[in-house]
Amino acid sequence: MKIQELVAKNIFKQSGYIASEKTCIIKMDANENPFTIQEPLKKVLRKKMLEVDLNRYPAAGSPDLRKRYAKYFGVKENMIMLGNGSDELIQILCMTLKGRIKGVLVPVPTFSMYKIIAVNTGNRVVEVPLDKKFDLDVKAVTDRIKNDFPALIFLSSPNSPTGNLFSRAKIEIIIKKTPGVVVIDEAYGTFSGQSLISLLKRYDNVIFLKTLSKLGMASIRIGFLIGNPNIIAQLDKVRLPYNINSLSQIAAGFFLDYEEEFSKQIKEIIQRREELYTGLKQIKWIKTYSSRANFIFFSCAFDSNHIYSRLLAKGIAVKNLSILPLIPNCMRITVGTKKENEALIKALKSITPKQGA
């Protein structure tokens, strides 16, 4: 057996996503909510879990959750589909929307899984750099649309790792000009205080992604795809019938039951983000960008690999973006608890350019 003859060329060539698995006292690398649920809520969830018949298949297509979350997002039931994390929904989009019109366009830098999944599903990928303020370069995007007719354009807004929202006006121009679908990934939307979901009323070629992963439920892998029912009907053929396990279905229901509790945590994270931003601004060798997400993006005046290892040695894990071509020596730090943020600032202040040289 010759393995290189069996494996799709694009997959054989690429290295795949490397998930960081740092066991740190302070985890600020994965854009998780730093707060976990406590008693008496934990007890409620535990009780709900007991209702699951472990021996039975989960409800195919998660019908109860579709109904409840449709209401939550203010859309009709046939406009929503659940995924095993947004990753699975991105994969379904890339597998399904490969007709006469095909290919994927992404602004860069952005969430790396768009490209990885697009390549793995055999798609051509066009990357268009963001402008200097990390907003969309509409002219560059629309020029590429004219040549490449992409079936999918992924826009993460707020964008990871840069933390900014894309302007609504620019997004609308792109929606109007593309022959395909614009996917607006609002994974971090809750931290921005705004959503463009009302665009669904004006355009039939917009799809939204949402997730529970940043809101306190990363463990259970629940993502949402929201949009045109005719597109969803096609995507739903590709969705594996039992893609959401029973335990995660229960937990996603629990999230809605106690959404107020989670909202309080989100409010606190937003407050902490502003404190962290102020703290980071005081450090001379850091250039901080304001954020609408649950993380802060900054560039360092010296080698970020050095800073990354120094923080790790102090038990703090952050996302080192040194390898991104357009933004050298950058980092992305998830907003932590008050204590965690203070520990981070203290640690950063103890690192000097001298040590990095």
Q: In the set 26, 28, 33, 227, which binds its own copies (CB under 8 A)? A: 33
CB 274 to its own copies: min, Å: 21
Distances (CA, A) of 231 to 2, 134, 238: 39, 30, 12
CB 53 to its own copies: min, Å: 5
Report the site for its own copies in 62-101 (rule: CB under 8 A): 63, 84-85, 87-88, 91, 95-101
88 or 186: CB nearest its own copies: 88
Q: In the set 52, 108, 173, 256, which binds its own copies (CB under 8 A)? A: 52
Binding range to its own copies, per CB under 8 A, among 33-41, 282-290, 301-309, 341-349: 33-41
110 interacts with its own copies by CB under 8 A: no
Report the site for its own copies in 201-240 (rule: CB under 8 A): 204-205, 213, 216-221, 230-231, 234, 236-238, 240
260 interacts with its own copies by CB under 8 A: no
Which residue is it, tokens 């699951």?
52
Q: For residue 330, list its beta bridge partners.
A: 299
CB 173 to its own copies: min, Å: 16
Our CA dihedral for 228, 231, 234, 239, rounded to 10 degrees, sits at: -70
Report the site for its own copies in 144-163 (rule: CB under 8 A): 151
**CB within 8 Å of 221: residues ≥ 6 apart:** 84, 85, 213, 248
Binding range to its own copies, per CB under 8 A, among 5-13, 187-195, 307-315, 331-339: 5-13
316 interacts with its own copies by CB under 8 A: no
**Alpha carbon of residue 165 to chain centroid:** 13
Q: In the set 138, 251, 327, 348, which binds its own copies (CB under 8 A)? A: 251
Number of residues that bind its own copies (CB under 8 A): 83
51 interacts with its own copies by CB under 8 A: no
69 or 262: CB nearest its own copies: 262
Would you call 160 helix, strand, or coil by DSSP? coil
Write out the E strands in 187-345.
206-211, 223-227, 286-288, 295-300, 316-320, 330-334
- What would the two tokens of residue 115 be? 């490209």
| C-beta neighbour count of 233 within 10 angstroms | 11
184 interacts with its own copies by CB under 8 A: no
CB 106 within 8 A of CB 154: yes
CB 354 to its own copies: min, Å: 35
Would you call 175 helix, strand, or coil by DSSP? helix
- What would the two tokens of residue 272 be? 């902490």
**Alpha carbon of residue 28 to chain centroid:** 15
